[in-house]
Amino acid sequence: MPLPRTALTTPKARVYAMLDTDGDGIASKHDYFVRIERTRVATGRGYDDPLVVAALARGERAWAAMDADGDGVMTYEEYAGWVDADKFDNICQYALGALFDLADADGDGAVDRTQFTLLREALGNRVENAGAAFDALDRDGDGRVGREEYLASIRAYITGEKSPMGEALY
């Protein structure tokens, strides 16, 4: 069953809606991989780039876990019943971390505002929201957001904990 747009009141529903890149109410494998492709294109990387290869492989693993029945689609009910802290820790963080790595142009484990905004826009967030989310994560004001704090904030949002980045993005 598709997720009605009026149901976007919980973190899981908001994330699911972002996964549904074509807006038809159901997240398909195509929807999921469009996000990886957008990130690849936005970062100017080729398909042979080792980071792209890693992002695609981690994306395949994550999608296979999310689409347990193998039908190529993940309903909101399937997603909401599946995603939790354990799934984030053992599956999602690797796929999301691989996308972060694509945006981390110098490979130092952190992104600046431009790289962060590029990543979040490629993943389906509005530029204005990405800027506010960056500000929420850049607590020390150094103009950089580290990979670990980025992933921790996504985990917190999905599991219902306080996440200033998640609140700003959605």
Would you list the domain boundaries of the chain?
10-169
Cα–Cα distances in angstroms (integers) from residue 101 to residues 2, 94, 97, 163, 167, in the given order? 32, 10, 6, 21, 23
Among the residue ranges 35-39, 43-47, 76-80, 165-169, the one predicted with the least confidence is 165-169
- Cβ(133)–Cβ(168) under 8 Å? yes
Would the pTM count as exceeding 0.85? yes
93-143 residue pLDDT tens: 999 999 999 999 999 999 999 999 999 999 988 888 898 999 999 988 999
Which residue in 35, 9, 10 sits closest to 22, CA to CA? 35
- Cβ(95)–Cβ(62) under 8 Å? yes
Q: Which residues contact 104 (CB under 8 A, 6 or more apart)?
A: 110, 111, 115, 147
- The pLDDT, as a whole number, for residue 125 is 86
Fold of the 10-169 domain: Recoverin; domain 1 (1.10.238)
